[in-house]
């Protein structure tokens, strides 16, 4: 016949049986152990308490109180030599999340700070130089990450290339305009 118990109930029962077997084994093999403590409110442990008493052992039963604790067996309470209820404190309520202060954008740089940043970036990032010339696309991306609202136009330059070449002594990669293809005249 199939059992109507859930898997978790079978596991609990197996643990209960193992606890009973272990307690009785210890009581028999270690006669110097005189006190046993059972932490449960389950009346299923009453036969264990009675057997431990028959072996001359003292039994303390401890259970917890709280909203998630089931009813404590009155038979277990009366069978124990001592019975204690331990209050389980409520877990502290999580602290309300404090929003992190919004990151303040960096103040706009001076031309000298912008120049210094360009030279520092070029010196630190090998991908910025190709054949001794500055990769303007990559440099522009790195500068925008640092100062999102600042461009070469902020310093009255028409392009980043003009600013770099005139203020940093570096040469930019320039795209050469393709020569126009001569128009073919049908013969």
Query: Which DSSP string do the residues of 50-92 spell out, in sequence order?
Result: HHHHHTT-EEEEEEEESTT--PPPHHHHHHSSEEEEEEPPPPP
Q: For 108-138, how does the pLDDT look when each residue is reduced to its tens digit (9 = 90+)?
A: 899 999 999 999 998 888 888 888 888 888 8
**Judging by DSSP bridges, how do beta strands 133-134 and 129-130 pair with one another?**
antiparallel
Measured distance CA(94)–CA(91) in Å, rounded: 9
Record: fold of 13-87: Rossmann fold (3.40.50)
Taking the whole predicted model, whether its pTM rises above 0.95 is answered as no
Return the DSSP state at 5: S
Residue 62: Cβ within 10 Å count: 15
Q: For 142-177, how does the pLDDT look when each residue is reduced to its tens digit (9 = 90+)?
A: 898 888 888 889 999 888 989 999 988 888 887 665
Domain ranges of the chain: 13-87, 111-168
Per-residue pLDDT, 95: 75
Measured distance CA(23)–CA(25) in Å, rounded: 5
Measured distance CA(103)–CA(48) in Å, rounded: 64
Q: Is 48:71 a contact under the CB 8 Å cutoff?
A: no
Residue 48: Cβ within 10 Å count: 22
Stated as kind and residue range, the H or E segment containing 17 is: helix 7-29
Q: Is the pLDDT of residue 4 over 60?
A: no
Question: What burial letters (b/e) apply to 108-135, b meaning 16+ CB within 10 Å?
Answer: ebeeeebbebbeebbeeeeebbeeeebb
Q: For 57-75, how does the pLDDT look when each residue is reduced to its tens digit (9 = 90+)?
A: 999 998 887 666 667 788 8
Measured distance CA(49)–CA(38) in Å, rounded: 9
């Amino acid at each position: 016949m199939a059992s109507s118990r859930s898997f978790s109930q079978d596991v609990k029962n197996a643990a209960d049986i193992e606890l009973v077997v272990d307690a009785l084994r210890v009581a028999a093999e270690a006669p110097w152990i005189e006190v046993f403590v059972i932490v449960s409110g389950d009346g299923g442990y009453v036969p264990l308490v009675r057997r431990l008493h028959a072996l001359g052992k003292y039994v303390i039963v401890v259970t917890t109180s709280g909203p998630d604790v089931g009813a404590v067996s009155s038979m277990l309470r009366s069978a124990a030599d001592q019975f204690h209820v331990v209050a389980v404190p409520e877990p502290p309520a999580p602290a309300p999340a404090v929003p992190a202060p919004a990151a303040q954008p960096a103040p706009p740089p001076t031309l000298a700070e912008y120049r210094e940043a360009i030279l520092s970036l070029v010196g630190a990032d090998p991908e910025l130089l190709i054949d001794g010339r500055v990769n303007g696309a990559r440099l522009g991306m790195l500068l925008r990450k640092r100062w999102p609202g600042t461009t070469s136009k902020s310093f009255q330059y028409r392009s980043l290339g003009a600013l770099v070449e005139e203020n940093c002594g570096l040469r930019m990669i320039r795209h050469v305009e393709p020569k126009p293809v001569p128009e073919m005249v049908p013969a």
